[in-house]
């Protein structure tokens, strides 16, 4: 499972845009390139727009462009905008946070993969794809 389908879509869209280096992307053009249900994609684009990653211009020759320099957009921020990143920080056996005094049975074993994941998404930006 790892991340939600919507996170997957969001990453797909933004990584595509980051690599393609076009000035503007219409929902239609993204739809034909990426394998995401059209209407779902369109709503996602508005969401990503509201979240401040991209900027929409409406109307006949409209579309989306990045709203910020891509070296300021961390993967953690993208994922966090469509699902709760907190669920990754917490305990794998369900505690809201890892209690420092009394960690769960899996705490130690879980530490490495958990940190690898969090560190990767927190220290990597879209620009690192280039």
Partner DNA sequence: ATAAAATAATACCTACAAGTATTAATTTAT
Partner DNA sequence: ATAAATTAATACTTGTAGGTATTATTTTAT
Binding site for ligand FES (CB under 6 A): 91-93, 95, 98-99, 103-104, 106-107, 110
68 touches which of ligand FES, DNA, a second copy, none (CB within 5 to 8 A by kind)? none
Helix (H) or strand (E) holding 65: strand 63-66
Contact flags string 25-64 toward a second copy, x per CB under 8 A = ----------x-----------------------------
In this structure, is the dihedral angle defined by the CA atoms of residues 123, 70, 127 and 34, taken in order, positive or negative?
positive
- Residue 56 makes CB contacts below 8 A (sequence gap 6+) with 45, 46, 49, 62, 63, 64
17, 18, 63, 70: residue in contact with DNA (rule CB under 7 A): 63
Question: At residue 57, what are phi and psi to the nearest 5 degrees?
Answer: -125, 130
CB of 114 to ligand FES, least distance (A): 7
Contact flags string 72-101 toward a second copy, x per CB under 8 A = ---x-------x---xx---xxx-------
Residues 70, 35: Cα–Cα separation, whole Å: 23
């Amino acid at each position: 499972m790892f991340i939600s389908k919507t996170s997957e879509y969001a990453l797909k869209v933004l990584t595509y845009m980051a690599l393609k280096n076009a000035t503007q992307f219409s929902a239609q053009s993204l739809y034909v390139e990426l394998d995401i249900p059209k209407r779902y994609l369109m709503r996602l684009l508005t969401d990503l727009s509201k979240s401040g990653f991209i900027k929409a211009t409406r109307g006949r020759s409209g579309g989306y462009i990045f709203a910020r320099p891509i070296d300021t957009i961390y993967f953690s921020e993208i994922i966090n905008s469509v699902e709760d990143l907190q669920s990754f920080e917490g305990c794998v056996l369900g505690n809201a946070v890892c209690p420092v005094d009394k960690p769960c049975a899996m705490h130690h074993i879980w530490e490495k993969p958990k940190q690898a994941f969090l560190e990767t998404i927190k220290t990597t930006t879209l620009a690192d794809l280039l």
